[in-house]
Amino acid sequence: MTESSAFRTDRYELTMVDAAIQSGTADRECLFEAFARRLPDGRRYGIVAGTGRLLELIRDFRFTDAELTWLRDNHVVRTPTLDWLADYSFRGNIWGYQEGEAYFPGSPLFSVEGSFADAVVLETVVLSVLNYDSAVASAAARMVSVSLGRPIAEMGSRRTSEYAAVAAARAAYIAGFASTSNLEAGRSWGIPTMGTAAHSFTLLHDSETDAFEAQVAAFGSSTTLLVDTYDIRSGIDTAVAVAGTGLGSIRIDSGDLPTVVAGARAQLDSLGAVNTHITVTSDLDEYSIAALSASPVDAFGVGTSLVTGSGAPAAGMVYKLVAHRDDTGEWVSVAKTSAAKISVGGLKRAVRRLDASGTARAEVVLVGGDPADTTEPAEETGRDRVLLVPLVTDGVIDERYLGAAGTERARLHHASVMRELPIEAFRLGRGEPVIPTLYEHR
Amino acid sequence: MTESSAFRTDRYELTMVDAAIQSGTADRECLFEAFARRLPDGRRYGIVAGTGRLLELIRDFRFTDAELTWLRDNHVVRTPTLDWLADYSFRGNIWGYQEGEAYFPGSPLFSVEGSFADAVVLETVVLSVLNYDSAVASAAARMVSVSLGRPIAEMGSRRTSEYAAVAAARAAYIAGFASTSNLEAGRSWGIPTMGTAAHSFTLLHDSETDAFEAQVAAFGSSTTLLVDTYDIRSGIDTAVAVAGTGLGSIRIDSGDLPTVVAGARAQLDSLGAVNTHITVTSDLDEYSIAALSASPVDAFGVGTSLVTGSGAPAAGMVYKLVAHRDDTGEWVSVAKTSAAKISVGGLKRAVRRLDASGTARAEVVLVGGDPADTTEPAEETGRDRVLLVPLVTDGVIDERYLGAAGTERARLHHASVMRELPIEAFRLGRGEPVIPTLYEHR
């Protein structure tokens, strides 16, 4: 692995550039669009995530000598194409939904304008990032919506590949998670990190008492003690005996949680540890979090279901050519027309139609609209909030979306978007998208 | 992201090291074991993958100034622990199932012996890699087993995060896939890469004929032409008209495949393109591949379902402390005992019990056996094939398992393992593991 992101790429992108250079079509100005034909699995909404990460990968998308040598040695493309790749950096424009935004079927959430060659080579990296990060954020948002304000920690690094883990922590944070176990996510994206001990720490010691004493000696009584290695009831007794009634928190990682949690709360209270929090972390997902809504849980930790998108591990986004300019400079809409995979061609704007109370009522895709147009259409009874913002202009990335600051910005934007959705969005059961997507031809 | 893999780690590993250094238990010699309590989702077998990649990450697991500074600034651990981390490299022993091997519930597939601190800090990276790569390889093996020898290309990079994509391509190749679309997988692991064009290439041109002519001019008539952008029937006519009857292959990415493929074959034959291959790539998984067993398909391409583990995106492996040495040097078995998540403590060997015909009949876990013991137990009516091999000895990695050569070795080993499994292993329907796991206490 090198620092360049250019090989996070499917071979066919480079062979297309090669053939297009040969045929003289590589410089044709094009608009590509990333969108999802449908939401996964009965979901009511999706959440766009990965944008900030993706912009950094686009910035680092350069073919260095290492890539060029490999391509030459493996006869992937010919010399004129190697020369073109050597000079490559993205020079076009990108508009996109802000990171953290809700999306619906057909939402034109990432629009790339540039020469065919400039834009097509980004396909894989665009989709890898948006499909994975949005899958995680979409699952995370559902978990947050049923957590009733109680903090959720992301703890899924051990259940997805080692780099995806960092992306997942970031996506979950944008969607409202409070913290992550993953150190790289802390370092790279400024996300608060958490974690104290696993069962192995207790098993290492000659007794649970020894283990708790060691942990309290190191971190003080405000630490979180994992009480379910042997017997939860005696574990809680031991925890309070060792740490005192000022014990910060206990963590429970197994058992029938509503029952166990209720018993643990009563036991802590009877021991005088009335301010000791209860954190639960046992294979949780949005459904088991919802099932704990009446339980005295203070915090959740979620792993597997979060990083695997809770049943929808890829968001189903595609990256399609929707228009190119003809020889006179006019935009020509194009779209695949065979079989079931229909696309809507053409440039597009997108607005979220809000009613007078500020509640979202429709996703409106303005076919033929200019994505660069940020004026808000007039609405008599509400507001049309413009969804596309300029992310890259003539190859220059808007830096407000990058790094830890961009991540924090996305988290704030997400919180405001969620307040806008109709209440039906937060029902966990399968259903239709909570607002319809309307295509208006301009 | 830096070159060090040390921050692909959950914070609690470092806090455990910190507390153990404080309490004097950090140097206790321990055995940790990665295993799966069950196979996902009615599967008959699982495939271990990621081992070679993981060994490279363990080699690169060093805390450089960048990591140490961040840990100090964020008060994650105290100074003695920072000093310990600065000197860290794994100094112990690791035994594991060979990459590509089948595994079953309880198989002790990755056993790490070292001081508590040495071994516990590897937990996240061990599980991230084994859980993801094995999920992909396990899905891939099922697809290969129903492909009837026809090659399958891995094309899932756009459906998982950009680094996971590389790992997925590698895992699929080990499990018998023929090639990948991912360039980094080609460069890093020596996997054959493939790919020609997407629908956007056809849409870019003023006609399908123009697009096919451009592609044939660039790559010759042996290329693969994607024929379903508009109408498949006219697409095939155009393809043969442009490339001639020597056209290498057509690719079909949509439609009711058994019907479409039969029609395409008849049409190609009637046009004289009797040697032109048919590749299909439309949202395939093991079930749709099996449904095409009687269809004249020559090659498959699989994306989403492969990289998301076809319904089981994480293999469910855990990394548990199973034994530590007491003060007299004797091994003490340890295991969590509360609630449902029972583990079997103790050192373990593992053998696959084969009958006289060489068919696997049981996964035998020899509790109390020495993982370093590679002698084959005598069997009257068959053979007990030893499953654990030394991967790391006193901190020195066996280099035969690394890089492209290690990947190729794993692919070969996998092929031999699959020949050993009972035929019932290859039924796609849900069922029990195809052989039982027997615990024998020694």
> A53-109 pLDDT, tens per residue?
999 999 999 999 999 999 999 999 999 999 999 999 999 999 999 999 999 999 999
What is the model's pLDDT at position A1?
A: 41
What is the model's pLDDT at position B1?
A: 41
What is the model's pLDDT at position A133?
A: 98
Q: A263 and A235, same structural domain?
A: yes
What is the model's pLDDT at position B2?
A: 42
CB contact under 8 A, B231 and A125: no
Residue A380 is assigned to a structural domain of this protein:
no
B316: pLDDT strictly greater than 60: yes
Quick: pLDDT tens for A204-227: 999 999 999 999 999 999 999 999
**Bridge partners of residue A154, in order along the sequence:** A180, A302
Kindly state whether A234 is in contact with chain B, defined as any CB-CB distance less than 8 angstroms: no
Shortest CA gap A24–chain B (Å): 9
**Residue B209: which pLDDT band, with cuts at 50, 70 and 90?**
very high
- State how far the alpha carbon of B5 is from the alpha carbons of A245, B10, B12, in Å: 39, 12, 16
CB A312 within 8 A of CB A306: no
Helix (H) or strand (E) holding B367: strand B360-367
**pLDDT > 70: percent of chain B:** 98
Mean pLDDT, residues A408-417: 98
What is the model's pLDDT at position B55?
A: 98
| Residue in B11, B187, B334 nearest the CB of A194 | B11
CB A331 within 8 A of CB A323: yes
d(CA B35, CA B37): 7
HSE at residue A105, side-chain half, CA atoms within 13 A, is 19
Kindly state whether B261 is in contact with chain A, defined as any CB-CB distance less than 8 angstroms: no
Q: A191 and A56, same structural domain?
A: no
Residue A92 is assigned to a structural domain of this protein:
yes
How crowded is residue A396: how many other Cβ atoms within 10 Å of its Cβ? 12
SS3 A348: strand
Chosen from A1, A2, A11, A249 to mutate, greatest number of chain B CBs within 10 A: A11
HSE at residue B312, side-chain half, CA atoms within 13 A, is 24
A341: pLDDT strictly greater than 70: no
Q: B148 and B120, same structural domain?
A: no
**Residue A338: which pLDDT band, with cuts at 50, 70 and 90?**
low
Q: A404 and A279, same structural domain?
A: no
Chosen from B72, B203, B317, B327 to mutate, greatest number of chain A CBs within 10 A: B203
Domain boundary pick from B310, B329, B345: B310
Q: A164 and A76, same structural domain?
A: no
Q: B188 and B121, same structural domain?
A: no
CB B145 within 8 A of CB B418: yes
Residue A352 is assigned to a structural domain of this protein:
no
Residue B110 is assigned to a structural domain of this protein:
yes
Q: A117 and A184, same structural domain?
A: no
What is the model's pLDDT at position B282?
A: 86
Shortest CA gap A382–chain B (Å): 37
Kindly state whether B360 is in contact with chain A, defined as any CB-CB distance less than 8 angstroms: no
Quick: pLDDT tens for B258-296: 999 999 999 999 999 999 999 999 899 999 999 999 999
Within 8 A of B339 by CB-CB distance, chain A residues are 228, 232, 254-255
SS3 letters across B71-92: HHHCCCCCHHHHHHHHCCCCCC
**Complex ipTM value:** 0.96
How crowded is residue A249: how many other Cβ atoms within 10 Å of its Cβ? 20
Q: B233 and B182, same structural domain?
A: yes
Q: Which of residues 15-34 of B touch A (CB under 8 A)?
A: 15-16, 18-20, 22-23, 25, 28, 30, 32
Q: Which two tokens stand for residue B67?
A: 């990591």
Within 8 A of A200 by CB-CB distance, chain B residues are 16, 30, 32, 116, 120, 123, 320-321
User: Greater confidence, B228 or A327?
Assistant: B228
What is the model's pLDDT at position B338?
A: 66
Q: Which of residues 301-320 of A touch B (CB under 8 A)?
A: 304, 307-309, 313-314, 319-320
**Bridge partners of residue A46, in order along the sequence:** A103
Within 8 A of B198 by CB-CB distance, chain A residues are 12-13, 16, 120, 123
A343: pLDDT strictly greater than 80: no
Helix residue ranges per DSSP H, B107-176: 116-120, 123-145, 164-174
Mean pLDDT, residues A423-440: 96
Residue range of the domain that includes A239: 140-311
| Residue in B14, B235, B338 nearest the CB of A230 | B338
B171: pLDDT strictly greater than 80: yes
Q: A126 and A144, same structural domain?
A: no
- Mean pLDDT score of chain A, rounded to an integer? 96
**pLDDT > 70: percent of chain A:** 98
Number of independent structural domains in chain A? 2
CATH of residue A338's domain is 3.20.140.10
CB A283 within 8 A of CB A305: yes
Residue B98 is assigned to a structural domain of this protein:
yes
What is the model's pLDDT at position A340?
A: 57
CB contact under 8 A, A132 and B10: no
Q: B292 and B170, same structural domain?
A: yes
Residue A237 is assigned to a structural domain of this protein:
yes
Residue B124 is assigned to a structural domain of this protein:
yes
One-character DSSP codes across A6-71: TTSSBHHHHHHHHHHHHHT-TTSEEEEEEEESS-STT-S-EE---HHHHHHHHHT----HHHHHHH
- Cβ-in-10-Å burial (0-12, 13-18, 19+) of B433 comes to buried
Q: B257 and B127, same structural domain?
A: no
Predicted TM-score of the model (pTM)? 0.97
What is the model's pLDDT at position B377?
A: 85
Helix (H) or strand (E) holding B211: helix B208-219
Mean pLDDT, residues A309-325: 96
CB contact under 8 A, B308 and A314: yes
Domain boundary pick from B257, B283, B310: B310
Shortest CA gap B3–chain A (Å): 9
B10: pLDDT strictly greater than 80: yes
What is the model's pLDDT at position B218?
A: 95
- Orientation of helix A123-145 relative to helix A164-174, angle to 10°: 50
CATH of residue B251's domain is 3.20.20.70
Domain boundary pick from B310, B331, B353: B310
CB contact under 8 A, B308 and A319: no
What is the model's pLDDT at position B342?
A: 64
Listed in sequence order, the residues at least 6 apart from A372 whose beta carbon sits closer than 8 Å to its beta carbon are: A93, A95, A390
Q: A282 and A169, same structural domain?
A: yes
What is the model's pLDDT at position B341?
A: 61
Residue B5 is assigned to a structural domain of this protein:
no
Q: Which two tokens stand for residue B38?
A: 């069950």
Kindly state whether B9 is in contact with chain A, defined as any CB-CB distance less than 8 angstroms: yes
Nearest C-alpha neighbor of A51 from the set A433, A417, A400, A418: A400
CB contact under 8 A, A255 and B184: no
**Residue A379: which pLDDT band, with cuts at 50, 70 and 90?**
confident
Mean pLDDT, residues B392-411: 98
Q: What is the CA radius of gyration of chain B?
A: 25
CB contact under 8 A, B339 and A255: yes
How crowded is residue B439: how many other Cβ atoms within 10 Å of its Cβ? 13
- State how far the alpha carbon of B49 is from the alpha carbons of B87, B210, B392, in Å: 29, 44, 17
Within 8 A of B25 by CB-CB distance, chain A residues are 204-205, 214
